[in-house]
């Protein structure tokens, strides 16, 4: 089949989802009010609360939700064929993904910019708050370790990439100050920031940065990535995180635009089969496809970005749909590009190799040399990862304060909370421990999505609003995630007991211990999800039976 078909379908879903379905919910269910003062305007402290133009915030939101996952997930999911992945990306985004991102932002805004911890305390129960914040913290720690490892590995193995990433930080700081302190034109400032970055991309080929020892090289860039994240955590949002992620949006968007144009010009045929088998390597399509492709369809990470970051920067309720929902639909296009590349690629191997080779092919249809795609691919992946990493550390700092700040006043200090998060992430990467529990990431991430939709559903019914658009997606995500979590825990525990993996290969001692560890964590997550479901259902029924709406609407 012609690959153009996938992109055209995506553009149709983008339009119908954003301009029809999301607009209907925005106007007829939520009843957004441009006269309502947003938390960004009410509490404008210049640190976390910062009224921001939707033109900046859209780029920030997209780059904050889009990590490596919308590229990684579809490429891995091609083992089931391109059709299951295509259907999940399109239907998942249209019915579930945007609804989670949008609802997370609007619920937080209507509750004074509170995070899910504070919202769950008032909406559900104190126990729900404690369980949820604990889960969020360790979920974020796993993400931090994984993305720090991606950044360090790519920067160590691709010596042409460090210079652009270093200057991305510099140009981001410059852009933030020129916009908010210099009051310069957004267009002019954007051009300046991107000129610095792309100049560094060219310069990186002339001045590759690498040490002789590969291990020392990776450690160096790991420390750099964590230092980068330190500033992203403690500095005011306008001076580092927001402008860097805003510039990062254009870096990714230009790559996406070139890829889409290349697909339309070259219109390559899909080489991968539409469907392979329901079960591949012991993994059935349901539930495993739905936790393999997360970003690009629905991802729990998005709910944390929307509720902890974006909700505190939106200057009008009218901006929630174009920013939160709009960024989700654009990320869907990125996932479709990755799926298309994986479906037409001749080269197999690691996901990043497939992406780089496929990007080279579609760039070549535009007359660009093959080397351009292979050079730009790693840059895109590092930008995708590092712009998530510094947000993760920032959110871990906020979660630390909410979880234990009252009992341990020292941990209210943003520097202390940040340093603890960085040390934990460093240890997980250096010891390799995160690789053992990474198998649970897909399930944990989508469990976060189910929990976000659960909170949104409870809030909607507490305000006497129609919760249908959130309730049914929540039920699907909760059931699917618990099924995936059960299957994953069962498989890793079985491997630990039998000392043989799914392919029949004997396992070593450290891997066996890692499987025991992952299996136990999986069971704990499953039990925690049941407790949250129990408390959530009780709250939902209680609000359903009340006659007047609660405060916070």
Closest CA to 492 of 514, 467, 476: 514
- Secondary structure of residue 506 in the 3-state scheme: strand
Tell me, yes or no, whether 152 lies in a domain.
Answer: yes
Position 349 in a domain: yes
Mean pLDDT of 451-466: 96
With vertex at residue 261, the alpha carbon angle to CA 255 and CA 262, rounded to the nearest 5 degrees, is 85
Q: What percent of the chain has pLDDT over 90?
A: 75
pLDDT at 10 over 70: yes
If DSSP states are collapsed to H, E and C, what string results for 43-70? CCCCCCCCCECHHHHHHHHHHHHCCCHH
Model confidence at 114: pLDDT above 80: yes
Residue 544 placed within a domain: no
Q: Which of 316, 230, 303 is nearest to 474 (CA)?
A: 303
Q: Worst-scoring range by mean pLDDT, 247-251, 350-354, 363-367? A: 350-354
C-alpha 267/C-alpha 4 separation (Å) is 6
Q: Is residue 350 part of a domain?
A: yes
Q: Is residue 524 part of a domain?
A: no
Phi, psi (degrees; rounded to nearest 5) at 2:
-70, 130
Distance CA 52, CA 58 (A): 10
- Banded model confidence at residue 552, pLDDT cuts 50, 70, 90: low
CA–CA separation, 239 vs 171, rounded Å? Answer: 11
pTM over 0.85: yes
Q: What is the pLDDT of residue 478?
A: 96
The strand pair at 279-280 and 283-284 is best described as antiparallel
pLDDT in tens, 255-288: 999 999 999 999 999 999 999 999 998 899 999 9
515-547 pLDDT, tens per residue?
898 999 999 999 999 999 999 999 999 999 986
pLDDT of residue 487 exceeding 90, the answer is yes
What CATH number corresponds to the domain at position 341?
1.10.4160
Q: Which residue has the tokens 């871990």?
A: 396
Domain count, the chain: 1
- Partners of 283 in beta bridges: 280
Q: Tell me the C-alpha distance between 356 and 360, whole Å.
A: 6
Residue 438 binned pLDDT confidence (cut-offs 50, 70, 90): confident
What integer pLDDT is reported at residue 216 of this predicted model?
81
- Closest by CA position to 428, among listed 152, 200, 198, 191: 152
pLDDT of residue 298: 96
Report the pLDDT averaged over residues 361-386: 86
- CA atoms of 357 and 346, how far apart (whole Å): 9
Handedness of CA 194, 200, 201, 202 (dihedral sign): positive
Q: Where are the beta strands (DSSP E) in 160-205?
A: none
* Residue 2 bridge partners (DSSP): 269
d(CA 332, CA 88): 10
C-alpha count within 13 angstroms, C-beta hemisphere, residue 132: 30
Residue 271 lies in a domain: yes
Q: How far apart are CA 494 and CA 482, in angstroms?
A: 18
Tokens standing for residue 279 = 């079960």
Local structure of residue 80 (DSSP, 8 states): G
Round the average pLDDT of the chain to a whole number and report it. 92
Q: What's the average model confidence in pLDDT over 113-130?
A: 94
pLDDT at residue number 372: 78
**Is the residue at 378 inside a domain?**
yes
What are 280's strand-pairing partners? 283
Asked whether the bond before 287 is cis by omega within 30 degrees of 0, the reply is: yes
Check: CB of residue 552 under 8 Å from CB of residue 122: yes
Q: Can you list the alpha helix ranges (DSSP code H) found in 235-299?
A: 241-266, 285-292
Query: Residue with structure tokens 């210079």?
Result: 163
The single residue listed with the structure tokens 């890692």 is 514
Residue 396, pLDDT score? 96
Query: Mean pLDDT over residues 157-170, rounded?
Result: 90
Q: Which domain holds residue 325?
A: 4-159+210-431
Residue 26 confidence (pLDDT): 97
Band (pLDDT 50/70/90 cuts) for residue 350 is: confident
**Residue 97, CA atoms < 13 Å, CB-side half-sphere:** 33
């Amino acid at each position: 089949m012609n690959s153009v078909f996938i992109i055209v379908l995506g553009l149709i879903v983008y339009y119908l989802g954003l301009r029809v379905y999301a607009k209907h919910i925005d106007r007829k269910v939520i009843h957004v009010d441009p006269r309502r003062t947003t938390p960004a305007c009410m509490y404008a402290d210049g640190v976390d609360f910062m009224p921001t133009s939707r033109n900046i915030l859209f780029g920030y939101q997209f780059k904050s939700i889009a990590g490596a996952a919308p590229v990684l997930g579809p490429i891995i999911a091609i083992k089931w064929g391109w059709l299951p992945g295509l259907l999940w990306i399109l239907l998942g985004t249209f019915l579930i993904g945007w609804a989670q991102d949008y609802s997370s932002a609007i619920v937080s805004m209507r509750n004074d910019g509170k995070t899910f911890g504070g919202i769950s305390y008032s909406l559900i129960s104190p126990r729900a708050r404690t369980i949820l914040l604990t889960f969020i913290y360790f979920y974020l720690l796993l993400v931090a370790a994984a993305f720090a490892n991606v950044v360090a590995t790519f920067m160590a193995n691709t010596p042409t990439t460090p210079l652009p990433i270093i200057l991305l930080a510099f140009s981001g700081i410059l852009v933030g100050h020129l916009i908010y302190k210099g009051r310069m034109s957004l267009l002019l400032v954007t051009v300046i920031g991107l000129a610095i970055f792309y100049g560094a991309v060219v310069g990186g080929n002339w001045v590759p940065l690498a040490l002789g020892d590969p291990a020392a090289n990776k450690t160096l860039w790991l420390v750099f990535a964590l230092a980068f994240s330190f500033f992203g955590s403690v500095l005011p949002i306008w001076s580092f995180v927001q402008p860097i992620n805003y510039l990062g949006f254009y870096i990714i968007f230009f790559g996406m635009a070139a890829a889409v144009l290349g697909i339309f010009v070259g219109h390559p045929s899909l080489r991968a089969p539409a469907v392979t088998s329901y079960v591949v390597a012991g993994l059935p399509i349901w539930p495993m496809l739905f936790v393999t492709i997360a970003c690009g369809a629905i991802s729990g990470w998005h709910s944390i970005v929307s509720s902890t970051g974006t909700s505190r920067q939106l200057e009008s309720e009218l901006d929630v749909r174009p920013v939160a929902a709009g960024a989700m639909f654009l990320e869907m296009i990125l996932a479709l590009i990755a799926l298309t590349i994986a479906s037409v690629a001749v080269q197999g191997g690691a996901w990043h190799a497939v992406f780089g080779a496929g990007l080279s092919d579609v760039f070549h249809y535009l007359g660009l040399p093959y080397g351009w795609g292979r050079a730009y691919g790693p840059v895109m992946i590092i930008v995708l990862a590092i712009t998530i990493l510094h947000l993760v550390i920032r959110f871990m700092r906020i979660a630390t304060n909410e979880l234990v700040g009252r009992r341990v006043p020292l941990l209210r200090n943003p520097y202390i909370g940040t340093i603890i998060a960085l040390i934990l992430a460093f240890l997980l990467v250096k010891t390799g421990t995160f690789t053992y529990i990474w198998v649970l990431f897909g399930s944990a991430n989508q469990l976060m999505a189910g929990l976000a939709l659960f909170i949104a559903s409870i809030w909607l019914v507490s305000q006497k609003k129609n919760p249908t658009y959130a309730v049914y997606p929540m039920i699907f995500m909760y059931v699917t995630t618990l099924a995936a979590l059960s299957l994953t825990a069962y498989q890793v525990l079985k491997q630990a007991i039998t000392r043989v993996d799914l392919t029949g290969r004997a396992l070593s001692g450290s891997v066996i211990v890692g499987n025991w560890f992952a299996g136990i964590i999986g069971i704990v997550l499953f039990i925690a999800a049941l407790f949250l479901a129990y408390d959530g259902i009780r709250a939902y029924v209680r609000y359903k039976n009340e006659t007047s709406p609660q405060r916070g609407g």
